[in-house]
Amino acid sequence: MVNFNSSEKNINEKESTGKTATENLTGWPYNWWRLMDNYKIGVIPLPLFIIAGILICVEVLVTGKLPSEIVVMVVTCGFFGFLCGEIGKRLPIVGKMGAAAICATFIPSALVYYGILPKPIVVATEKFYEDTHILYLYICCIIVGSIMNMDKKTLIQGFLKIFIPMLCGEIVGMLVGISVGYLLGLNVAHTFFFLVLPIMAGGVGEGAIPLSIGYGDLLGIKDGLSRVLPIVMLGGLTGIICGGILNRIGKAYPHLTGNGKLFPESDNTNTSDKKMLKSEIVIDVTTFASGVLLATLLYMIGMLVKAVTGIPAPVGMLFAAVLVKLISGVSPKVLSGSQVVYKFFQTSVTYPILFAVGVAVTEWKDIIAAFTLTNLTVIICTVVSLVTTGFFVSKKLGMYPIDAAVISCCQSGQGGTGDVAILTAAERMELMPFAQIATRIGGAINVSLSLLILAHVLLKYNLVSIADLIN
């Protein structure tokens, strides 16, 4: 039974002394409670974090395997994800420039490559990631929550205007990348098709793989994916670093950023909608559940769109979510539920997801293979010029340049996983809908147009030779 008099006494005491009555008590269980409340690794209280580590070790040592079922993997990915993220946050200087997202992704990849992470953990994580497609649940909840949190005017303006800095950034990035490669003694065609284009191809599934298939058909090379994939990863890594740097610039110069918003809001922007939404926000279990259901239903619509049109499911879902928002298709209470779901996934699921991505799909050996001074120079110059152009063009268009430039970073990202890492480093997960446009649609356009030009212009009229391309 709850003692309301005691609760009221605690509140009154906290107002007068800054502490509750229990905070002044010692011994069991008060010291234990304070340890739980005041010391955390990510979102996990330190005692629970230690217990999680012990249980994982015992499971692996005693049974020699780790179940890939969701209950065990929630603990495992949470433990390692937040541990790697915490390491990144505590690094000097770079800890404030996106190192947490980098460490959460690339430390697990390196641990797998060097055989340090126990094999049962690797096998279980890979199976869990592949069987559940957990990344898509994460992305759909983030996208839907972001869109439902935007006012309609900003949503329309954002989707109409964001293509301009994206296009300008790609043109400048391509020209700079090719020029730098030429100055370093690389063939122009090779620089574009095997260094610059993979960076802007939109990741692995919708970018590197179609690109490598196209190269196999047109150039007769069988190792296209092994050539392209490392460049995609290094481009994504550079994008993460740029996102972290942009975040620091935004903190130093607040007038340049909307902290996840693309446009300054006018005083009368959707005032009635905001008041209605605020009055309807009631956070309970059913509200949260309705937010999850909304996100998953919209993703199923995206899957149907993909089956009919071939458009990636996250993009189809994105358009469906925009339509629902524009026609006010769900109540303010359900909108608030989707925002709670967004916040939960942003704070509690990001680093575990990045750990799973690092173990399951990030190949450390591919990154090492592409780690040459020439490649790095071309990649860094391409991504930096892409992001810088997005910054200044968006500023001319009346957008917040930091936030628009973060979306430009995502143009060099490793698909959906890259978007998660870049936006985490930039602390602007609200931009996920625009990031998906940049990677999915932008990447598809880049790959399709480039392969068409290669097949029907360059090779057809002997403007380049296959030997020059593959070097």
In total, the chain counts a number of residues equal to: 471
Three-state secondary structure along the chain? CCCHHHHHHHHHHHHHHCCCCHHHCCCCCHHHHHHHHHCEECCEEHHHHHHHHHHHHHHHHHHCCCCCCHHHHHHHHHHHHHHHHHHHHCCCCHHHCCHHHHHHHHHHHHHHHCCCCCHHHHHHHHHHHHHHCHHHHHHHHHHHHHHHHCCHHHHHHHHHHCHHHHHHHHHHHHHHHHHHHHHCCCCHHHHHHHHHHHHCCCCHHHHHHHHHHHHHHHHCCCCHHHHHHHHHHHHHHHHHHHHHHHHHHHHHCHHHCCCCCCCCCCCCCCHHHHHHHHHHCCCCHHHHHHHHHHHHHHHHHHHHHHHHHCCCHHHHHHHHHHHHHHCCCCCHHHHHHHHHHHHHHHHHCHHHHHHHHHHHCCCHHHHHHCCCHHHHHHHHHHHHHHHHHHHHHHHHCCCCHHHHHHHHHHCCCCHHHHHHHHHHHHCCHHHHHHHHHHHHHHHHHHHHHHHHHHHHHHCCCCCCCHHHHHC
> Whole-angstrom Cα distance, residue 254 to residue 273?
27
Longest distance between any two alpha carbons in the chain, whole Å: 87
Predicted local distance difference test score (pLDDT) of residue 5: 46
Residue carrying structure tokens 């002997």: 462
Predicted local distance difference test score (pLDDT) of residue 268: 45
For residues 176 and 187, is the Cβ–Cβ distance under 8 A? no
For residues 94 and 247, is the Cβ–Cβ distance under 8 A? no
For residues 275 and 332, is the Cβ–Cβ distance under 8 A? no
Predicted local distance difference test score (pLDDT) of residue 375: 92
Can you say whether the dihedral through the CA atoms of 321, 241, 440, 366 is positive or negative? Answer: negative
Can you say whether the dihedral through the CA atoms of 229, 304, 439, 134 is positive or negative? Answer: negative
For residues 410 and 168, is the Cβ–Cβ distance under 8 A? no
> Whole-angstrom Cα distance, residue 224 to residue 372?
18
For residues 381 and 180, is the Cβ–Cβ distance under 8 A? yes
Q: Please, what is the Cα angle at 193 between 188 and 196, to 5 degrees?
A: 85
Residues forming beta bridges with residue 44, ordered by sequence position = 41
pTM listed for this prediction: 0.83
Look up residue 443 and give its amino acid: G
> Whole-angstrom Cα distance, residue 401 to residue 169?
13
Q: What is the CA radius of gyration of the chain?
A: 24
Burial class (CB in 10 A: 0-12, 13-18, 19+), 394: buried
Residuewise pLDDT in 10s, the chain (471 residues): 334 344 444 545 554 555 555 567 777 888 888 888 899 999 999 999 999 999 999 999 999 999 999 999 999 999 999 999 999 999 987 887 778 998 999 999 999 999 999 999 999 999 999 999 898 899 889 989 888 888 888 788 888 888 999 999 999 999 999 999 999 999 999 999 999 999 998 877 667 878 888 888 888 887 677 788 889 888 999 999 999 999 999 999 999 999 998 988 654 445 445 554 454 555 678 888 999 999 999 999 999 998 998 788 888 898 899 999 999 898 888 888 898 899 999 899 999 999 999 999 888 988 887 788 999 999 999 999 999 999 999 999 999 999 999 999 999 887 788 899 999 999 999 999 999 888 888 888 888 899 999 998 888 888 888 887 776
